[in-house]
């Protein structure tokens, strides 16, 4: 920036009305230009002098009263009306504010993923990983009497293992996996070309829960709690076929009284 | 809004700026008595136009009305002041500027104003400035309005605000250096 441009912008610089870029440019010029510095100082002094010494004419004391008298009066009864009408609007405003807050917290509540949803993500990840790394089974066997003992010493519970070859769901094998912050048993079944992971682990409480289904990213998930065990079944299989496997799993070697509770 | 509701709202929002209104009217009219008339008229107008006030700072809004009222008043009573045409170039001062003599070294505004008559000299110099320069200086330095607000109040582009302020300061500075009230410029 040269002297001419600087001089033109000095007043606005003094009034702090310049953009950041202009201010930087002008400061740079000022650093190397005593003449412009002098000019700035002079203008600044005058500016301060006006602010400090020029008379600020305050209105005469009675002027406000005269103006009030000339304006339409907010009379006392009407003043009361003003209050009530404002209170009424305050109420309406409060109601709207409450409704808004309620709706907002509901939205927030609903948008927080539930424990089941988080777990569903884990289950899908486990399923996908098992297919990806060609590590579908630690113990590849369709013999339930081979698979079940294999878990001994690896888990602190004994998973139920049944082969459903006759029903079209041959057991492929068993695997250890890690879900919900604990080691779990993963049983792998095949139906035609589809693989199905069946996860089992002990439930935290004795409570049983009905069968619930979820669909995510093209995978179908079915989960329930029975006999103190949490079950998650995941596959890209047709949901109807998957449900038929679930029925068999629920019926396997169980005590009477545990029956499928429907899908939701 | 009902009339009494509006009256109350108006009193709450606009009346607090009475001193600013009076200060501007006083500097534009240069007369206590006329300033009171102008301010009263401005307040009545402001009340009539209050529907058009959509919140924000009421002070620049009111000052624009005060300015208009002052100009109307000047047109009716002192038309010659308004008819004094000027342009920013015409009013640039001759280069000789300050007086000759030993005082020349310390004739900066602060030094001058430190003297006994300083404040009166400054007021007189400011009053002698042409209306268009006087008003931007008053709005900027006494009312502390931003360029944007001044542009709205004085109904001029922001660029003009800047150039008028520059010219106004220059004129005032030269005036003060002569250490006596400038003649009507």
Which residue did the predictor score with more confidence, A84 or B145? B145
Query: Which B-chain residues 111-130 have CB contacts (< 8 A) with chain A?
Result: 113, 118-119, 122-123, 126
Could you check whether B3-83 and B102-177 share the same CATH topology? no
Residues of B in contact with A57 (CB under 8 A): 22-23, 26-27, 32, 35
State the pLDDT confidence band at B84, using cuts at 50, 70 and 90.
low
The mean per-residue pLDDT over the stretch B72-78 comes to 88
Q: What is the pLDDT of residue A217?
A: 83
State the pLDDT confidence band at B65, using cuts at 50, 70 and 90.
very high
Domain range annotation of chain B: 3-83, 102-177
Answer yes or no: do B162 and A55 touch at CB < 8 A: no
Strand A229-235 versus strand A194-202 pairing type: antiparallel
State the pLDDT confidence band at A214, using cuts at 50, 70 and 90.
confident
Q: What is the pLDDT of residue A256?
A: 42
Residues of A in contact with B4 (CB under 8 A): 72-75, 78-79, 81-82
Q: Give the closest of B2, B5, B141 to A54, CB-based.
A: B141
The mean per-residue pLDDT over the stretch B29-35 comes to 93
Q: What is the pLDDT of residue B85?
A: 46
Q: Per-residue pLDDT for A108 more than 50?
A: yes
State the pLDDT confidence band at A35, using cuts at 50, 70 and 90.
very high
Rounded percentage of chain A residues whose pLDDT exceeds 70: 87
Residues of B in contact with A4 (CB under 8 A): none
Residue with tokens 């098992």: A130
Query: How many CB atoms neighbour CB A206 within 10 A?
Result: 8
Q: Per-residue pLDDT for B103 more than 60?
A: no
Which residue did the predictor score with more confidence, B40 or A89? B40
Residues of B in contact with A67 (CB under 8 A): 15, 18, 39-40, 43
Q: What is the pLDDT of residue A262?
A: 39
Query: Which B-chain residues 119-178 have CB contacts (< 8 A) with chain A?
Result: 119, 122-123, 126, 137, 140-142, 146-147, 162, 165-166, 169, 172-173, 176
Query: How far apart (Å, rounded) are the C-alpha atoms in residues A58 and B27?
Result: 11
Q: Give the closest of B18, B140, B176 to A59, CB-based.
A: B18
The mean per-residue pLDDT over the stretch B48-70 comes to 90
Rounded percentage of chain B residues whose pLDDT exceeds 90: 52
Please list the residues that pair with A189 across neighbouring strands: A171, A196
Query: How far apart (Å, rounded) are the C-alpha atoms in residues B45 and B77?
Result: 19
Q: What is the pLDDT of residue B104?
A: 44
Query: How many CB atoms neighbour CB B170 within 10 A?
Result: 19
Distances (CA, A) of B51 to A118, B47, B54, B104: 56, 8, 8, 55
Q: From the CA of B23, how many Å to the nearest CA of chain A?
A: 5
Please list the residues that pair with A224 across neighbouring strands: A231
Q: What is the pLDDT of residue A144?
A: 87
Q: Give the closest of B19, B113, B166 to A58, CB-based.
A: B19
Q: Per-residue pLDDT for B97 more than 50?
A: no
The mean per-residue pLDDT over the stretch B43-69 comes to 90
Query: How far apart (Å, rounded) are the C-alpha atoms in residues B33 and B31?
Result: 6
Instruction: Name which of A71-85, A149-163, B25-39, B163-177 the model is least confident about.
Output: A71-85
Instruction: Name which of A119-128, A235-244, A253-262, B118-127 the model is least confident about.
Output: A253-262
State the pLDDT confidence band at A255, using cuts at 50, 70 and 90.
very low
What fold is seen in the domain B102-177? Answer: Arc Repressor Mutant, subunit A (1.10.10)
B3-83: CATH, from 3.40.50.300, 1.20.140.10, 1.10.1740.10, 1.10.287.130: 1.10.1740.10
């Amino acid at each position: 920036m040269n002297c001419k441009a600087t001089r033109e912008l000095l007043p606005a610089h003094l009034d702090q009305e310049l953009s950041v870029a202009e201010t930087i440019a002008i400061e740079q010029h000022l650093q190397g230009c005593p003449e412009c510095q002098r000019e700035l100082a002079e203008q600044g002094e005058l500016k301060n002098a006006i602010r400090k010494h020029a008379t600020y004419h305050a209105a005469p004391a009675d002027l406000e009263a005269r103006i009030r008298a000339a304006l339409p009066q907010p009379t006392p009864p009407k003043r009361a009306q003003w209050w009530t009408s404002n209170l009424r609007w305050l109420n309406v405003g409060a109601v709207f504010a409450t409704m808004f807050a309620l709706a907002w917290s509901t939205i927030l509540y609903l948008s927080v993923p539930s424990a089941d949803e988080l777990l569903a993500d884990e289950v899908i990840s486990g399923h996908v990983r098992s297919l990806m790394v060609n590590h579908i089974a630690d113990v590849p066997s369709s013999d339930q009497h081979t698979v079940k003992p294999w878990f001994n010493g690896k888990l602190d519970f004994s998973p139920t293992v049944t082969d459903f070859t006759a029903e079209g769901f041959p057991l492929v094998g068993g695997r250890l996996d890690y879900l919900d912050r604990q080691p779990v048993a993963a049983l792998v079944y095949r139906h035609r070309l589809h693989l199905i992971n069946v996860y089992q682990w002990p439930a935290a409480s004795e409570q049983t829960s009905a069968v619930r289904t979820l669909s995510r990213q093209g995978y179908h998930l079915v989960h329930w709690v029975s006999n103190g065990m949490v079950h998650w079944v995941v596959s890209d299989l047709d949901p109807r076929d998957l449900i038929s496997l679930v029925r068999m799993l629920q019926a396997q070697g169980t005590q009477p009284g545990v029956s499928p509770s429907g899908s939701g | 809004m009902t009339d009494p509701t509006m009256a109350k709202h108006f009193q709450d929002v606009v009346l607090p700026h009475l001193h600013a209104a009076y200060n501007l009217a006083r500097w534009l009219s240069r007369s206590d008595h006329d300033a009171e008339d102008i301010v009263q008229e401005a307040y009545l107008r402001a009340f009539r136009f209050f529907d058009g006030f959509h919140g924000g700072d009421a002070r620049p809004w009111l000052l624009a009305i005060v300015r208009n009222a002052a100009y109307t008043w000047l047109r009716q009573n002192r038309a010659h002041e308004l008819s004094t045409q000027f342009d920013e170039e015409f009013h640039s001062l001759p280069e000789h500027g300050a007086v000759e003599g030993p005082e020349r070294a310390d004739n900066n505004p602060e030094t001058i104003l430190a003297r006994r008559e300083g404040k009166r000299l400054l007021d007189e110099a400011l009053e002698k400035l042409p209306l268009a320069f006087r008003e931007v200086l008053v709005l900027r330095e006494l009312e502390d309005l931003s360029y944007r607000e001044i542009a709205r109040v004085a109904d001029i582009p922001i660029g003009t605000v800047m150039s008028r302020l520059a010219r106004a300061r220059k004129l005032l500075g030269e005036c003060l250096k002569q250490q006596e009230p400038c003649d009507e410029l």
